[in-house]
Amino acid sequence: MFIDVHCHLDRYKENLGYALEQIKQHRIFTISNSMDLPSYKQNVQIAVSSDFILPVFGIHPWNASQYVGCPKDLDWAISESPIIGEIGLDYYFVNETSLYDDQREVFEYFLKAAGRQKKIVMVHTKGAESETFQLLKQYNTERVIIHWYSGPWHILKAMVEHGFYFTIGVEVLFSQHIQDIARYLPAELILSETDNPGGKQSITGTVGTPLLIKDVVGKLAEIRGTSDQIITTTVQNNLIRVGGRDSWLTKVRTSSG
Ligand SMILES: [Zn+2]
């Protein structure tokens, strides 16, 4: 079974039917991340039709400003969500430094809640790798999945020492830096993702589909000198390990059976 730990099914829009068909046909266990409250509600609706889909809630750093001052409105969704994602900081695509305080405020609110509820967090770090890492340490966040890491080596190495997990996605097909990261990571910390439909679109201009996860797995196998099957099994075992005793893992077990 393939594992796509980070995508955004609500963003497939008119291509959703096709995406869901691929997920079912190719048995892709899919964690559908949210970027705000409306996208979370859509992801929950989408997941009703499939055992392969786990909808999770977070506020993307690009949307943080909308929720500053009313974080309590998020509490019901945070409590309901089995994993927290997508949250984090972005100082790369967001140029207006006046928005960074909002990003930090919302990110910290989620880190506090995740700590209390002992949940995995799925973290966006683009251009803010150092500050994101500082906050994760400050809040003693225990189970961390770093999504699409593309930052400096020294922070990557320190995060690895902290036992954070890392997703490798479609950029591994195109970028030497991501390929180097994919080669460096310890096997027990690697997860796979697509970040679709936007992940591929941001690189090539064409919309990605769920089955791109197969290409990601193939490339990981090539880079690490192993087989697709071993990568698939490794990723599945890693997801089960980071999941610990979480009840959503029954969905992974049902899907893989
Ligand atoms: Zn994302």
pLDDT in tens, 80-129: 999 999 999 999 999 999 999 999 999 999 999 999 999 999 999 999 99
Judged against a pLDDT cut of 90, whether residue 206 lies above it is answered with: no
Distance 233 CA to ligand 1 centre (A): 23
C-alpha 1 to ligand 1 mean position (Å): 21
- CA of 85 from ligand 1 middle (Å) equals 8
pLDDT, position 201? 83
Quote the ligand 1 centre to 123 CA distance (angstroms): 9
Chain mean pLDDT for the chain: 96
Q: What separation in Å is there between the alpha carbon of 26 and the centre of ligand 1?
A: 22
Distance 35 CA to ligand 1 centre (A): 8
Structural domain total, the chain: 1
Q: How crowded is the C-beta side of 233, counted as CA atoms within 13 Å?
A: 5
Q: Which residue has the tokens 């929950």?
A: 44
Residue 250 Cα to ligand 1 middle (Å): 24
Average pLDDT over residues 236-248: 96
Is pLDDT of 203 > 90? no
Q: Of 7-11, 69-73, 105-109, which range is least confident?
A: 69-73
Mean pLDDT of 208-219: 95
Residues measured by CB to lie within 5 Å of ligand 1, the ion: 86, 195
Q: Could you tell me if 191 and 198 are in contact, meaning their C-beta atoms sit under 8 angstroms apart?
A: no
Interval between CA 6 and ligand 1 midpoint (Å): 6
Give alpha helix (H) positions in 118-227.
129-138, 153-161, 176-184, 198-204, 212-224
Ligand 1 centroid, distance to 32 Cα (angstroms): 9
Report the pLDDT averaged over residues 15-31. Answer: 96
197 CA to centre of ligand 1 in angstroms? 9
Distance from residue 86's CA to the centre of ligand 1 (Å): 6
> Each residue of 158-197: pLDDT tens digit?
999 999 999 999 999 999 999 999 999 999 999 999 999 9
Say if residues 216 and 192 touch (Cβ distance below 8 Å): yes
Q: Is residue 54's pLDDT more than 90?
A: yes
Determine which helix (DSSP H) or strand (DSSP E) holds 228, and give its type and residue range: helix 228-243
- Other CB atoms within 10 A of residue 143 CB: 20
Does position 257 have pLDDT exceeding 80, yes or no?
A: no
Print the domain residue range for 126: 2-256
Question: Would the pLDDT of 199 be above 90?
Answer: no
Give 29 Cα–ligand 1 centroid separation in angstroms: 16
CATH for 156: 3.20.20.140
**pTM here?**
0.96
